[in-house]
Structure 1
Amino acid sequence: MANPFFSLLLFLSLFPTPSLQSKPLPDLTSPYLSPSTIFPNFQKMLRTFKIFTYEPPKDFTFNTPAESLFYSSLLNGPFATQNPNEAHLFLVPFPSDLSTRSISRFIRDFRTEHPYWNRTLGADHFYISCAGLGYESDRNLVELKKNSVQISCFPTPHGKFIPHKDITLPPLNPSPLAPPQAPPNNRSSRYLGYFKSNGQVGLLNQLNGDPEFMIESEPSDELTYAERLEGSQFCLFLYGGDVSGIGEALRFGCVPAVITDCPIQDLPFMDVLVWSEIAVFVGRGGGAEELKGVLRRTCGDKYERMRALGVTASQHFVWNASPQSYDAFHTVLYQLWLRRHTIRYARREWS
């Protein structure tokens, strides 16, 4: 008589255990979360995506250049439609200084005049607010905050960003540099780390005088700044501080090292890029020695790959007065396009 234990083992061996099956390795030659789908999907977005913009409550301008450039590019580009019935998403435009009471009144007015908000309770709508909106008890503001996509600026103030729903605009550098003269892997680095700071902050005080680091308030000119980026392995950024140069750091092959006390949930293009492959994240608690240790451990074969992938990803951080494919404007739109499918809620009356 067969041993029932061995019979059971033979039976189980015919069915692979899911947790033990080999998982596909990430594509380390690409900085993208979905390298096989992003480009065909991007082309489909360019052909089909339509956005309807409600009439704003008054003439206005945004507080930041990135907001203004995104808004004007959208209104003047091929994605804008005057026919709400063909729109995938709806933009709710309001000035940055509009009070929450006025925003609530604005939403109340167009939800009674148009049917589109009530079909999804605002889930196929989005708004632009660099500082982000907080939580309010008003019914209109609750639906706007919880259901609609918020486009804010990176980094967003604490508590005003909902991961997996909201989007951040990449920083707009007012003085973009000329492209680097040589590929990043064909040059030697003079510094382990470079940090441009308008004031000494925390652990960076401990790096003053360290020959492996260049810390300065402002380079003397653009050429010097480009040389700093090209001559440094890592560019340091404080999360919550000035991150305007992060796109140019990537473009010049200077791997961003973001110093933060907590996990970052509002990085630009989190639906598109594998940030762990193009940047390093370091805590403040261990001081300068921990920072230097993390950077040194990242050097080597992995570092050269990160550098190359960062250069590839940098095209998405470029803002153009006239938008071009795969630039910052179009990549933000691509994230909106990924959110175009929404649940159509049944309309219900509120007491």
Structure 2
Amino acid sequence: MADDQSSNDTEIISFASSEISLPRVTRFWMLLLFDVSSTICALFVLFCVLINHKLRSTVNNHALIVLLFLGLSLQLIDVPFYLNFIIHSSVTPSNGWICLLWWLVDIGMYNGGTIILAWIAFERHIIVFYDQLISTRKKRILIHYLPMLFLILYSFAYYIYATYYFPCENIYDYTLPFCNGSPCYLSDPIMGIWNFIINSALPSFLEAFFSLSFLFRVFWKKYHSHLPMQWRKQRKMTIQLMSLSSLNMAVTFPIGVIGVAHLCGLPQDVGVQVNQYFFFFSYFVIFLIPFICLASISGVNRKFQEKILCRRQRQVQRFTATVKPEHFKSNITMQH
């Protein structure tokens, strides 16, 4: 009986350290409402960009398209898995392939998005300050397309290998979110450190560095350079970049700090609950990115205003014109 009690206590501690204290019902509705609206927004943005040749061929939109597709993989696979877990209080169906797919999307696609965000921050310097490097088709292939293609292929290749083929034994706990959220390759001294430093911490640091340096260079050029500058275009690009970076860094920076502290000797049980909250709220980074793209891509924003907002305004105006105040007055008079 004592052994059973000890086992139960261990399970409770394990559960507490692997799932945030926010009630599951609250998490369910938060994720569901944001996921549905964000998915619709992401599909709308992608539709507008992909059917419009000008938007589709604009260099600074390409990485955003990749980012939105990576986000959709989390919105259409990761989040539904989490909602299904909340409904059944376990991973259902309880199969290892579900856990592997969940890990691949949750860890791999999210970190892939972080890598792409770092590339976006770096590429903005090229687009604004060194546009001659992408002035021809050959230069665009070398400077723009090939690096981005390499980052995409690297992200998929690394996480597919690490998740499905790395020689280690996974332990699945179907009673916890993400099947305990710890694929075995993260415990490997090489793969685990590589994943944290190269795929997570370094891209986050580079994203912050390139974003802040881009902001500094834009303002420096505006106020201290006598060269002509398309300020309106640069302002939109700056706001877009800073919105994306600030949103992502608000979550990834604390996670990175805690991770580095653990590598430097901080006990593993310190900051676990805080880390779990940041991991949960990282979903909202994915949810909000489509809305930032909607607001910052001019052609998409214009189409949204024309198709959605103007249509709604016309409906309101039509209703107002149909139901006039004097109608109410005459009805009231007749009733009296």
Q: Same fold per TM (> 0.5)? A: no
Q: Which has the higher strand share?
A: 1
Higher relative contact order (CA closer than 8 Å, sequence separation 6+)? 2
